[in-house]
Amino acid sequence: MVLRSNSLHAYRTEALVLLAPAFAIYTVFAIWPMIEVVILSFQRWNGLSADRAWAGLQNYRHIFTADPVYWMAFRNTVLWTIMSVIFPPVVGLLLALGLNQKLFGRGSLRAIYYLPVIIAPIAVATMWRWMYDPFFGLFNQVLTNLGLQAWIADWLGDRSIALYSMFVAYTWQHVGFSMVLFLAGLQGVEYSLVEAARIDGANRWQVFRHVTLPALQVTITIVIVLSTISSLKAFDIIYGMTGGGPAQSTQMLALWAFTQSMQIFDFGRGSAISVTLLAITLAIVVPYLRWTQKREAASE
């Protein structure tokens, strides 16, 4: 018994020693900045002055009641998140299902579809901005050549379509990420179960619905959680493509927080926006994770 206790103690010490450097780094570069942002959200600071005046809830009151952009950014962020948890995962799943078959050049195709994921978002933004150029861009040139001049649009300058134009670029970049996760998940689907279902007369849809999809439950949870987090903090591609314009119509909470802090230099309001974004993220992700954990526990 004493021996077991000593060995447990040794394991714990070893674990603590191994975790300590990572924890220290995480504390300095992640936890402390988060705490700092929360504190800043109750202060007024322009980034230049040494003094940070206490502002109480003024920053929150301003962004909720007097900021002409906050609610537009909020709406766009919600819309973007909903689209992000639907389209890239669905397209990624379809690609994964296709590329899980024994196709010629399957490896190359997987690499090609994954390639955009490794490109820096700002480079993706630049590339797509040029393709969307209303005068010389690829899309309008193709439409012109096809005689579809009526379809020509100011893809990033028309507020009614700018957000969706950016989302196409975002989907193009992120679909490969979902695809890879689903491909990994598909490797865990028992082939014997698929065979058994087929022998029992199940068609392709029924096999997918009742065998493949349940086996992908964990992967789906991971993809949705990661897609949600990634979409809520969408920044680079919007910064690079429209900068939140035209007239702040494609503004998002993450970019608006940056704009307030690093362009308007009102760090208090920028931090308050960041805190609301953090709260929204937690409000979505935590209940979803708890719900899926309960479902998994119930199914075991």
Written as six digits, the tokens of 228 are: 């949600």
Q: Do residues 285 and 229 make contact, with C-beta atoms less than 8 angstroms apart?
A: yes
Tell me which residues in 124-153 interact with other proteins (CB under 8 A).
Answer: 132-135, 153
With contacts defined by CB under 8 A, name the span among 25-33, 109-117, 208-216, 261-269 that binds other proteins: 261-269
- Which is closer to other proteins, CB of 49 or CB of 145? 49
String marking each residue 194-233 x if it binds other proteins according to CB under 8 A: ----------------------------------------
Position among 13, 144, 263, 293 found at the interface with other proteins (CB under 8 A): 263
String marking each residue 40-79 x if it binds other proteins according to CB under 8 A: ------xxxx------------x---x-xx----------
DSSP of 62-83: HHHHT-TTHHHHHHHHHHHHHH
- Which is closer to other proteins, CB of 73 or CB of 179? 73
Position among 248, 271, 274, 276 found at the interface with other proteins (CB under 8 A): 248
Q: Does 82 bind other proteins (CB under 8 A)?
A: no
- Which is closer to other proteins, CB of 11 or CB of 130? 130
Q: Give CA–CA dist 9/12, Å, rounded.
A: 5
DSSP of 104-141: TTHHHHHHHHHGGGGS-HHHHHHHHHHHT-TTT-HHHH
DSSP of 235-285: -HHHHHHTTT-STTTT--HHHHHHIIIIIS--HHHHHHHHHHHHHHHHHHH
Query: Which DSSP state fits 56?
Result: T
CA angle 249, 253, 257 (to 5 degrees): 110
Query: Tell me, what amino acid is at 287?
Result: P
We find the least distance from the C-beta atom of residue 123 to other proteins, in angstroms, to be 16
> Which positions ≥6 away from 213 have C-beta within 8 Å?
none
Position among 84, 242, 271, 276 found at the interface with other proteins (CB under 8 A): 242
Position among 82, 138, 262, 282 found at the interface with other proteins (CB under 8 A): 262
Tell me which residues in 153-172 interact with other proteins (CB under 8 A).
Answer: 153-159, 162
Contacts with other proteins: how many residues (CB under 8 A)? 32
CA angle 115, 116, 117 (to 5 degrees): 90
We find the least distance from the C-beta atom of residue 265 to other proteins, in angstroms, to be 6
* Site residues for other proteins per CB under 8 A: 46-49, 62, 66, 68-69, 132-135, 153-159, 162, 242-243, 245-248, 259, 262-266
